[in-house]
Chain A
Amino acid sequence: MTVKLPIYMDNHATTRVDPRVVEKMLPYFTEIFGNAASKTHSFGRAAEEAVDKARLQLAKAIGASSDKEIVITSGATESDNLAIKGAAHMYREKGDHLITVCTEHKAVLDSHHALEREGFRTTFLPVKPDGLIDLAELEAAMTDQTILVSIMAVNNEIGVVQPLAEIGKLCKKRGILFFCDAAQAIGKIPLNVEELGIDILAFTAHKLYGPKGIGALYVRRKNPRVRLEAQMHGGGHERGLRSGTLAVPLIVAFGEAAELITQNLAEETARIAALRDRLWNGLTSQLQHIYLNGHATERAPGSLNVSFAYVEGESLLMGISDIAVSSGSACTSSSLEPSYVLKALGVNDELAHTSIRFGIGRFNTEEEIDYTIARVVDVVTRLREMSPLWEMVQEGIDLRTVNWTGH
């Protein structure tokens, strides 16, 4: 068995662009290079046609009823900002209260913090130890002043899927808009904005085998018609919601990437889930004291966030340096704080420091999974042999009773 190294298994961070997508986008750099807003000549019209087609592909991928509901942006961060600030500013007269969850992406959390400085109030809902929100807490947090609920579909660190349909129903009942950051969800789980009652939805190309720098925001036009205040002003592109010349090649690629997802979702997710199970079963059959972070079944198929007790995450990453994964360990970030998402789950700092995030994607193979299992088992075993914590546990010492000298 030969495996090509290094192995890429960090598909939450970004994905490789599918070669079929690259092929589709290339002519739009050199041949069909017009500005989609140039309606006076054939170059512009050809570009506009390509954008229209992509918009339909994007609408279809999320079950939107019209391509007019798709606003092109530069990515999920911009989409998050436009959705949250745009809705808050537009509906300010109606209320000043927002609800989100403490495990959201920073783009969502920091947009709320920015609005709080303008006088809005936010409820940051906690999550249960499995990473999911408590629907009763969401309902209890809703007031007459609440104008927007922002809850992500799939968590970027732990892969759990929030109960979107139930959230959608609660929001509808109270007449509150539901915004969903689905950057990690599209292409990983079936998602239909009509069925789930989502009013605004952010997604991005580079998490679904498309290029970086292009994203979209779904903005519902019927039941209810959602209005947003533009955050980027200029030539009035995207029906005034997002000015700026359209990046035609990237949009074509985004559309094509979405099309591939629409065609093969069930088959692809089944294959990836099988690889994920193979990885988990391989690790748990050979290593003790390893823990899955987040709900065991309510999760995106390629996602596995695992704590390897008594082995610090960065030292584990160093040992498996030919496999690209990421860690919730503080040492891998510049903040020296372990992951805020794992902390929100109630995972103690000690275990958060030992966490590794595996992100399996379209291009991973069974051979790569088997290689990863063997490497991780080998390195964890070696590092545990040199871990004083492992030694204490083997001696029957309860680590919680030790008087540590924190620094």
Chain B
Amino acid sequence: MAYSEKVLDHYNNPRNVGALPKDDPTVGTGVVGAPECGDVMKLQIKVGANGVIEDARFKTFGCGSAIASSSLATEWVKGKTLAEAAAIRNTDIVQELNLPPIKIHCSVLAEDAIRAALADFAAKQEKKA
């Protein structure tokens, strides 16, 4: 498989690898995928009082394209409002990373991970209210 330069760059220099405290009420955590399918992504966002995503982290078990998709997703959500982050589509990721058709599911998983993190944050807010 030939990888695009952008996939290689994210694989070799992944942005925002790590973890945020998942019990922090300002942190939303999304875990999607399954080990038996060959990819699991964990994406976390930290949301400021103004509703803007201040920080993001990821950890991914998966192929290079899955790692690159989640790395890119953390880059993109940072500085965005919750609504803006929710508008990120997998097709944007496909385009940015030049993913071949067989790797489109990696971008879908990254979109799912963003949504799962947003949903977790929203659930925490509701609980608090």
Whether A387 touches B61, Cβ cut-off 8 Å, given contacts A332-B1, A334-B102, A407-B112, is yes
- A386 near B59: Cβ-Cβ < 8 Å: yes
In the assembled complex, which residues on chain B have CB atoms less than 8 Å from the CB atom of A311? Answer: 61
A349 to B116, CA, bound (A): 24
- A404 near B59: Cβ-Cβ < 8 Å: no
- A407 near B109: Cβ-Cβ < 8 Å: yes
- Give min CB distance, A46 to chain B, whole Å: 46
- A387 near B60: Cβ-Cβ < 8 Å: yes
Interface residue count for A (Cβ, 8 Å)? Answer: 30
A310 to B62, CA, bound (A): 9
B94 at the interface (CB under 8 A from A): no
A286 at the interface (CB under 8 A from B): no
B24 at the interface (CB under 8 A from A): no
- A315 near B42: Cβ-Cβ < 8 Å: no
A404 in complex: contacting residue of B11, B33, B58, B112, CB < 8 Å: B33
- B60 near A406: Cβ-Cβ < 8 Å: no
A77 at the interface (CB under 8 A from B): no
Whether A353 touches B35, Cβ cut-off 8 Å, given contacts A385-B17, A386-B59, A388-B59, is yes
What interface size band does chain B fall in?
20 to 34
Q: Tally A-B pairs: CB < 8 A.
A: 89
- Give min CB distance, A395 to chain B, whole Å: 10
Per-residue interface assignment for chain B, residues 37 to 54, with 1 indicating a CB less than 8 Å from any chain A CB and 0 otherwise:
111111000000000000
- A404 near B1: Cβ-Cβ < 8 Å: no
A330 at the interface (CB under 8 A from B): yes
A391 at the interface (CB under 8 A from B): yes
Whether A331 touches B38, Cβ cut-off 8 Å, given contacts A388-B59, A407-B105, is yes
In the assembled complex, which residues on chain B have CB atoms less than 8 Å from the CB atom of A391? Answer: 19, 42, 59
In the assembled complex, which residues on chain A have CB atoms less than 8 Å from the CB atom of B31? Answer: 388, 405
A338 to B39, CA, bound (A): 13
Whether A387 touches B33, Cβ cut-off 8 Å, given contacts A315-B11, A315-B67, A330-B38, is no
In the assembled complex, which residues on chain A have CB atoms less than 8 Å from the CB atom of B105? Answer: 407
A407 to B39, CA, bound (A): 10
In the assembled complex, which residues on chain A have CB atoms less than 8 Å from the CB atom of B32? Answer: 405, 407
A140 at the interface (CB under 8 A from B): no
User: In B12-43, which residues have CB < 8 Å from any A CB?
Assistant: 14, 17, 19, 31-42
B34 in complex: contacting residue of A312, A314, A405, CB < 8 Å: A405
B108 at the interface (CB under 8 A from A): yes
Per-residue interface assignment for chain A, residues 314 to 355, with 1 indicating a CB less than 8 Å from any chain B CB and 0 otherwise:
110011000000000111101010100000000011100100
Whether A315 touches B34, Cβ cut-off 8 Å, given contacts A332-B1, A407-B105, is no
- B63 near A388: Cβ-Cβ < 8 Å: no
Residue from the set A334, A336, A350, A405 with the largest chain B CB neighbour count within 10 Å? A405
Per-residue interface assignment for chain A, residues 173 to 212, with 1 indicating a CB less than 8 Å from any chain B CB and 0 otherwise:
0000000000000000000000000000000000000000
- B61 near A318: Cβ-Cβ < 8 Å: no
Residue from the set A331, A332, A334, A391 with the largest chain B CB neighbour count within 10 Å? A331
B79 at the interface (CB under 8 A from A): no
A326 to B40, CA, bound (A): 22
- A312 near B14: Cβ-Cβ < 8 Å: no
Of the A-B pairs whose beta carbons lie under 8 Å apart in the complex, a sample of 17, sorted by A's number, is A312-B62, A314-B64, A315-B63, A315-B64, A319-B11, A330-B38, A350-B36, A353-B36, A386-B17, A386-B59, A388-B59, A388-B61, A389-B40, A390-B61, A399-B35, A405-B33, A406-B36
Q: Which 6 A-B pairs have the closest CB atoms?
A: A404-B34, A349-B36, A350-B35, A388-B42, A314-B63, A406-B34
Give residues in A with beta carbon < 8 Å to B: 310-312, 314-315, 318-319, 329-332, 334, 336, 338, 348-350, 353, 385-391, 399, 404-407
